[in-house]
Amino acid sequence: MPITASRADTDPVSAAHEAFGLRTDIVDELAVQRTVDRFRAEGVILPTFAELAQPSTIPAARIAALEGVDRSEPDARNLFRVHWYNHLRPDGGTDPTPAPVPDHLELPPELTGVEARIVLALGNRFPMIGAHKVLAAYACLVPRLVTGRFDPSEHRAVWPSTGNYARGGVAISRILGCRGVAVLPAGMSQARFDWLERWTLEPERDIIRTPGTESNVKEIYDTCAVLETDPTNAVINQFSEFANHLGHRLVTGPALERVFEHVTADTPSARLAAFVSASGSAGTLGAGNHLAARHGCRVVAAEALECPTLLENGFGEHNIQGIGDKHVPLIHDVFATDDVVAVSDRSTDALDALFNTPAGRAHLVDRVGVAPEVVDALVHLGYSSICNVLAAIAVAKAHGYGREDVIVTVATDGSEMYDAERRAYLEHRYPDGFGPVEAAEVYGRELASADTARHLELTDAERRRIFNLGYFTWVEQQGVPVADFSVRRHRRFWDDMVPFVDAWDELIAEVNARTGLRGDE
Per-residue model confidence (pLDDT) at position 325 = 67
CA distance linking residue 18 with residue 32, whole number of Å: 19
CA distance linking residue 219 with residue 185, whole number of Å: 8
Q: What is the DSSP string of 28-81?
A: -HHHHHHHHHHHHHHT--PPPHHHHHSGGGS-HHHHHTTTT--TTS--GGGGGG
Q: What own/partner pairs with CB < 8 Å and gap ≥ 24 does 488-497 have?
A: 488/16, 488/330, 488/333, 489/335, 490/13, 491/335, 492/13, 493/13, 493/16, 493/17, 494/245, 494/289, 494/333, 494/336, 496/13, 496/14, 496/17, 497/17, 497/22, 497/242, 497/245, 497/246
Q: What average pLDDT does this structure show over 294-311?
A: 94
Question: pLDDT category, 445, cuts 50, 70, 90?
Answer: very high
Q: Crossing angle, helix 133-146 and helix 164-175, to 10 degrees?
A: 40
Per-residue model confidence (pLDDT) at position 282 = 92
Q: What average pLDDT does this structure show over 345-373?
A: 97
Q: Is the pLDDT of residue 321 over 70?
A: no
How much is the mean pLDDT over the chain?
A: 93
Per-residue model confidence (pLDDT) at position 217 = 77
> Is the torsion defined by CA of 31, 179, 162, 224 positive or negative?
negative
Q: Is the pLDDT of residue 322 over 70?
A: no
7 vs 366, higher pLDDT: 366
Question: pLDDT category, 309, cuts 50, 70, 90?
Answer: very high
Q: Could you tell me if 319 and 276 are in contact, meaning their C-beta atoms sit under 8 angstroms apart?
A: no
CA distance linking residue 463 with residue 100, whole number of Å: 37
Question: pLDDT category, 326, cuts 50, 70, 90?
Answer: confident
Question: pLDDT category, 323, cuts 50, 70, 90?
Answer: low
Question: Which one, of 333, 483, 475, lies nearest residue 18 by Cα?
Answer: 483
Q: How far is CA 268 from CA 241, 271, 308, 405, in A?
A: 38, 8, 38, 11
Q: What is the DSSP string of 426-482?
A: HHHH-TT---HHHHHHHHIIIIISS--EEEEE--HHHHHHHHHHHHIIIIIIT---H
Q: What is the DSSP string of 124-183?
A: GGSTTTSBTHHHHHHHHHHHHHHTTSS-TTT-EEEEE-SSHHHHHHHHHHHHTT-EEEEE
What does the CA dihedral 453, 458, 463, 469 come to, rounded to 10 degrees?
Answer: -20
Q: Is the pLDDT of residue 18 over 90?
A: yes
Which 8-state DSSP code applies to residue 22? Answer: -
Q: What is the DSSP string of 261-319?
A: HHHTTT-TT-EEEEEEEE-TTSSTTHHHHHHHHHH--EEEEEEETTS-HHHHS------
Q: Which residues contact 490 (CB under 8 A, 6 or more apart)?
A: 13
The pLDDT > 90 percentage for the chain reads 82
**Pairing state between β 405-411 and 453-457:** unpaired
The pLDDT > 70 percentage for the chain reads 96
Instruction: Render pLDDT for 71-88 as a digit per residue (tens, 0 to 9).
Output: 999 999 999 999 999 999
What does the CA dihedral 381, 385, 390, 396 come to, rounded to 10 degrees?
Answer: -110
Per-residue model confidence (pLDDT) at position 221 = 86
Per-residue model confidence (pLDDT) at position 2 = 40
Per-residue model confidence (pLDDT) at position 396 = 96
Q: Is the pLDDT of residue 6 over 50?
A: no
Any bridge partners for residue 455, and if so which?
341
Q: What average pLDDT does this structure show over 289-301?
A: 98
Per-residue model confidence (pLDDT) at position 184 = 87
Q: What average pLDDT does this structure show over 102-116?
A: 97
Per-residue model confidence (pLDDT) at position 214 = 63
CA distance linking residue 389 with residue 411, whole number of Å: 9
What is the SS3 assignment for 242-273? HHHHHHHHHHHHHHHHHHHHHHCCCCCCCEEE
Q: Is the pLDDT of residue 521 over 60?
A: no
Q: Is the pLDDT of residue 215 over 80?
A: no
Per-residue model confidence (pLDDT) at position 195 = 87
Q: What average pLDDT does this structure show over 228-233?
A: 94
Separation of CA 113 from chain center: 27
Q: Could you tell me if 303 and 278 are in contact, meaning their C-beta atoms sit under 8 angstroms apart?
A: yes
Per-residue model confidence (pLDDT) at position 520 = 58
Any bridge partners for residue 470, and if so which?
none
Q: Could you tell me if 322 and 336 are in contact, meaning their C-beta atoms sit under 8 angstroms apart?
A: no
Per-residue model confidence (pLDDT) at position 519 = 59
Q: How far is CA 413 from CA 335, 341, 416, in A?
A: 27, 20, 8
Helix (H) or strand (E) holding 26: none
Instruction: Render pLDDT for 121-176 as a digit per residue (tens, 0 to 9).
Output: 999 999 999 999 999 999 999 999 999 999 999 999 999 987 789 999 999 999 99
64-68, 413-417, 447-451: segment of lowest average pLDDT = 447-451
